[in-house]
Amino acid sequence: MDYNNIQSVINIVRLVRGINFMSKSRALDHIKSRAICYKILREEMGMTYTAIAEAFGKTHATVLHGIKEFPYMIKIDPKMQRDYYVVKNTCKTNNPDHQGLSLIELKCHNNHLLQEVNELSLEIFEMKDKYKKFEPIIRLLKDQVPANRLEEVELKVSTLINKMSLPI
């Protein structure tokens, strides 16, 4: 595996988690940050346990243990889960763009992504607020219409709305 790929993952995790986890510290944040790296390097980049262990100065058993415990860690730590998905998506979608980038460049990219997330969150909030008035109708349809008749009801409701000339 290319050293630049390993370093890119480490830099992205370091940036997202906000800590230098490459020391031998047993602090929980360091363990979780290394586990994120192990998981991505193993499952997204196909590295062997031994290759990952060598990159981190650990044994293959340590890496294996970190990956096995990973589902339990993210289940009880929503921030870790969010961080994992941010790192995974950044590595998956833009990895060639991040090779050899400095932490400052990655931080700028991360800030841009956070701004996009905030904008999307605002759009979701606005959409939920806009369509809140339809909740009683949706609840009624959900409670009263059997799943096998949804298409039929959809067609009838559409026809009814068209006949009434109501804007949606």
The count of other CB atoms within 10 Å of the CB of residue 70 is 19
Query: How far apart (Å, rounded) are the C-alpha atoms in residues 50 and 14?
Result: 22
Predicted pLDDT at 101:
62
> Quick check: 3 pLDDT over 70?
no
Q: Are 44 and 50 within 8 A, CB to CB?
A: no
Predicted pLDDT at 113:
78
Q: Which range among 69-73, 99-103, 134-138 shows the weakest confidence by mean pLDDT?
A: 99-103
Could you give phi then psi for residue 31, rounded to 5 degrees? -60, -45
pLDDT digits (tens, 9 = 90+) for 45-68: 899 999 999 999 999 999 999 999
Beta-carbon contacts of residue 1 (< 8 Å; ≥ 6 apart): 41, 45, 46, 47, 51, 55
Q: How much helix, strand and coil, in percent to the nearest 5, is found in the chain? A: 80, 0, 20
Count Cβ atoms within 10 A of the Cβ of residue 36 and give its class: 0-12 exposed, 13-18 middle, 19 or more buried: buried
Band the pLDDT of 102: cuts 50, 70, 90: low
What is the length of the chain?
168
pLDDT digits (tens, 9 = 90+) for 108-140: 777 777 778 878 888 888 888 888 888 888 888
Mean pLDDT calculated for residue range 136-156: 85
Band the pLDDT of 69: cuts 50, 70, 90: very high
